[in-house]
Amino acid sequence: MEFSKVLGKILAFFYRKLKHANDKIERIKKQQFFEGEKIFIPENLIIRNFHFGNGNLRIYCKKNVSIHDYCILQGSGTIYIGENSFIGQYSVIGCNQEIRIGNNVLVAQSVSIRDTDHNIDSAIELINMQGIKTAPVLIEDDVWIGHGVVITRGVRIGKGAVIGANAVVTKDIPEYAIAVGVPAKIIKYRNGDKSAL
């Protein structure tokens, strides 16, 4: 077989793959999961609706949002992602009420952000029959969330804060704080403020 025919078949194969990926992304956008412009959505993004009372998952992105490979966005609430924000590979955002991510936020790989917990109050009733409890999560502008961080329901992370790798955030983190550990504790402030230490 001539080289030009082989090359033609290879190019046709990659064209079909690219067209399939673009078609999938357009289907996602048409389902009105996303609103915004210049949004990077990978073909392998997973979106799952959970039906915990308040309907379908809604996702609103401002411009220049970048969501990377194998992320999972799931739930029945509303996710807001601000301008120029980045969600790293393998991250999971589970939202049954509201999660707000501000502008210029860096979310590293394998991060878990959830506004929901299972109820566990009864030792008699099965856990999966006790329902859920939710509280909004707010991540303000210019925050860096390190690799493997877990952010739990009801948490507010203040503007300019940094959360170190593998930390578990169970309480609010003030502006410009650097927090590490399990559970996350403040070790210093980026702006030199020592009054809260």
Q: Would you call 23 helix, strand, or coil by DSSP?
A: helix
pLDDT digits (tens, 9 = 90+) for 165-174: 999 999 999 9
Tokens representing residue 141 in the block: 């502008």
- Give me the catalytic one of 20, 51, 118, 147: 118
How high is the pLDDT of residue 44? 83
pLDDT digits (tens, 9 = 90+) for 75-94: 888 999 999 999 999 999 99
The model's pTM is 0.79
What's the maximum distance between 2 C-alpha atoms anywhere in the chain? 76
**More confident of the two residues 63 and 32:** 63
**Sequence-separated (6 or more) residues with CB below 8 Å from residue 17:** none
How high is the pLDDT of residue 35? 57
Tokens representing residue 125 in the block: 């009733």
The rounded distance, in Å, linking the Cα atoms of 184 and 167 is 5
How high is the pLDDT of residue 173? 97
The rounded distance, in Å, linking the Cα atoms of 21 and 24 is 5
The rounded distance, in Å, linking the Cα atoms of 22 and 14 is 12
**More confident of the two residues 167 and 49:** 167
Pairing of strands 177-180, 185-189: antiparallel
The mean pLDDT value for 179-185 works out to 96
The mean pLDDT value for 39-60 works out to 76
Sign for the pseudo-dihedral over CA of 93, 101, 188, 185? negative
Q: What is the residue type of 67?
A: I
Is there a contact between 155 and 137 (Cβ–Cβ < 8 Å)? Answer: yes
How high is the pLDDT of residue 120? 87
Q: What domains can be seen in the chain, in order of their start residue?
A: 31-189 (2.160.10.10)
Mean pLDDT across the chain: 84
User: In this model, does residue 161 exceed pLDDT 80?
Assistant: yes
Is there a contact between 133 and 119 (Cβ–Cβ < 8 Å)? Answer: yes
Burial of 42 (0-12, 13-18, 19+ CB in 10 A): middle
Nearest to 156 by CA among 168, 176, 170, 142: 170
The rounded distance, in Å, linking the Cα atoms of 162 and 176 is 7
H/E stretch holding 3: helix 3-30
pLDDT digits (tens, 9 = 90+) for 111-156: 999 999 888 888 989 888 888 899 999 999 999 999 999 999 999 9
Q: Is 118 a catalytic residue?
A: yes
Confidence class for position 25, pLDDT limits 50, 70, 90: low
